A and B are shown apart, each in its own frame.
Chain A
Amino acid sequence: MIELKNVTKIYPSKAGDTLALEDVTLTVPDGSAYGVIGLSGAGKSTLVRCINLLEKPTRGQVLLDGEDVGAAKKKRLRELRRSIGMIFQSFNLLEQRTAAANVRFPLELVKTPREEAKRRVEELLALVGLSEKADAYPSQLSGGQKQRVAIARALATSPKYLLCDEATSALDPATTESILQLLKRINRELGVTLVVITHEMKVVERVCTHVAVLGQSRVAEEGRVEDVFSFPQSEIAKRLILPEALRSAAGEGGPKLRLVFHGETGNEPVVAGLARTCGVEANILFADTRLIDGKSFGQMVVGLPCDEAQIAAAKRYLTAHNVVFKEEF
Chain B
Amino acid sequence: MDALLVSRLFTQLIETNAFPLAVWETIYLTFASAAVAYLIGLPLGVVLAVTGRGGLKPVLWLNKAVGIVVNIFRSIPFIILMVALIPVSRALLGTSIGNGAMIFMLVVAAAPYVARMVESSLKEVDAGVVEAARSMGASTLQIVWKVYLPEAKPSLLVGAVISTVTILGYSAMAGTIAAGGLGALAVTQARPSNAQDVIWLCVLLIVVIVQIIQELGMYLAARTDKRVRVKGRKNKAKETK
Q: Which residues in A have some Cβ–Cβ distance to B below 8 Å?
A: 52, 54, 77-82, 84-86, 88, 90, 92-97, 105-106, 108-110, 137-143, 150, 153-154, 157, 163
Contact = CB atoms under 8 A, between A and B. Distances in A.
A85 B93 CA distance: 54
Interface string B17-32: 0000000000000000
A109 B126 CA distance: 19
Nearest to B236: A139
B90 interface: no
A153 B137 CA distance: 13
Interface of B: 126, 128-129, 131-139, 142, 146-147, 150-151, 153-154, 224-229, 231-233, 235-236, 238-239
A109 B142 contact: yes
Nearest to B139: A78
A110 to B, nearest CB: 8
Given A81-B136, A109-B136, A96 B126 contact: no
Contacts of A143: 239
Contacts of A86: 132, 135-136
Nearest to B138: A109
Nearest to B140: A74
Given A93-B129, A94-B129, A142-B235, A106 B136 contact: yes
Contacts of B126: 92, 95
10 contacts: A86-B136, A90-B128, A92-B128, A94-B150, A96-B225, A97-B226, A109-B137, A109-B146, A142-B239, A157-B137
Contacts of A90: 128
Given A109-B136, A137-B229, A54 B131 contact: yes
A107 B81 CA distance: 48
Nearest to A75: B139
A54 B236 contact: no
A139 B227 contact: yes
Contact of B128 (A82, A88, A154, A157): A88
